[in-house]
Amino acid sequence: KSHEKAENRFNNRFQFVAIVTASTDGIGLAAAQALGKRGAHVVVSSRRQANVDKAVSLLRNENIEVIGTTCNVGNREDRERLVNMAVEQCGGIDILVSNAAVNPFFGNILESTDEVWSKILDVNVKAAFLLTKQVFPHMVKRGGGSVVFVSSVAGYQPIFIMPELRTFVKTALLGLTQALAPELAQSNIRVNCVAPGIIKTRFSAALWQSEEVANEFLKLLSIKRLGMPEDIGGVITFLCSEDASYITGETITVTGGMNCRL
Ligand SMILES: NC(=O)c1ccc[n+]([C@@H]2O[C@H](COP(=O)([O-])OP(=O)(O)OC[C@H]3O[C@@H](n4cnc5c(N)ncnc54)[C@H](OP(=O)(O)O)[C@@H]3O)[C@@H](O)[C@H]2O)c1
């Protein structure tokens, strides 16, 4: 019965609420946009108020129902404020897209410090889990929901010139997806993951700004162009929709054909 209820909810427009973290630029913004176009009431956030304001007005101009707040996902009070805001202003939570990542370190892994490890684990992995835990009771109240983590192709296999410290936390998200899926399925909540390849955003600028480096990457691809944030936004929306109702614990690679697993 609760499954039927959830199905109706996800099929109807303007009846589900989606929190997308780190959603004022790049992949997060594209995910918020794609979910909003499918009718989600979207809650956008990132660390800087000016970026939040800009994203909210951009999405409102596209007739997307959206609210926004600042939220550094590594900060507990910020996460609580984000979740409370969604519940109070949108009436509940159906979807969580956990997209934030930081890379506080470039260089040889052996030179990374205790502080670097704490930060990278807190923001990239722990926050993804803690946010899931925070939204869980609200999804249960709605009869189900969907969680999507944003990992990376580098979670399968470190890519040349990519700082390797960043890659292992992306591998951790693949494991977290599989670990959470059976437990949350009991509450009709699906947990999935996307692993983007090289997507043209500010975050990855070092990988595409130089034509020489970009050309090296293109050699690894079947589709000879870099990915765009919208390429990922659509897949995230699919994973959150009823079209993906039988998919959980899964990671979809969206790489233009970069070979990273069987
Ligand atoms: N681009 C790629 O090629 C690629 C490939 C594989 C995976 N990914 C993954 O995709 C995700 C998004 O990356 P992107 O390329 O879309 O980045 P982006 O275009 O640079 O956007 C990053 C967004 O994250 C926000 N942000 C940064 N740190 C945050 C924090 N601690 N808490 C909350 N928000 C934060 C930024 O806004 P503020 O500055 O206002 O906080 C901004 O909205 C990351 O998880 C990344 O690892 C990207």
List pLDDT tens digits, range 65-99. Answer: 999 999 999 999 999 999 999 999 999 999 999 99
Burial class (CB in 10 A: 0-12, 13-18, 19+), 126: middle
Contacts with 68 (C-beta within 8 Å, 6 or more apart), sequence order? 24, 43, 44, 45, 52, 53, 55, 56
- How far, in Å, is the centroid of ligand 1 from the Cα of 7? 31
Closest residue by Cα to residue 59 from 89, 32, 85, 86? 32
The whole-angstrom separation of Cα 252 and Cα 198 is 14
- How far, in Å, is the centroid of ligand 1 from the Cα of 186? 31
The whole-angstrom separation of Cα 21 and Cα 44 is 6
Ligand 1 pocket, CB under 6 A = 21-22, 24-28, 46-48, 51, 71-74, 99-102, 123, 150, 152, 196, 198-199, 201-204
For the segment 169-195, what is each residue's pLDDT rounded down to a tens digit? 999 999 999 999 999 999 999 999 999
Closest residue by Cα to residue 90 from 25, 154, 40? 40
What pTM was computed for the model? 0.95
- How far, in Å, is the centroid of ligand 1 from the Cα of 29? 9
Res 260: pLDDT: 87
Res 106: pLDDT: 81
The whole-angstrom separation of Cα 43 and Cα 50 is 15
Res 167: pLDDT: 87
Where does the pLDDT of residue 259 fall: very low under 50, low under 70, confident under 90, or very high at 90 and above? confident
Q: Quick check: 15 pLDDT over 80? A: no
Classified as helix, coil or strand, 43 is strand
Range 247-260 burial, b when 16+ CB lie within 10 A, else e: ebbbbbbbbbebeb
Q: What domains appear along the chain, each with residue ranges and CATH number?
A: 2-199+228-254 (3.40.50.720)
Atom of ligand 1 nearest to the CA of 71: 33
- How far, in Å, is the centroid of ligand 1 from the Cα of 2? 34
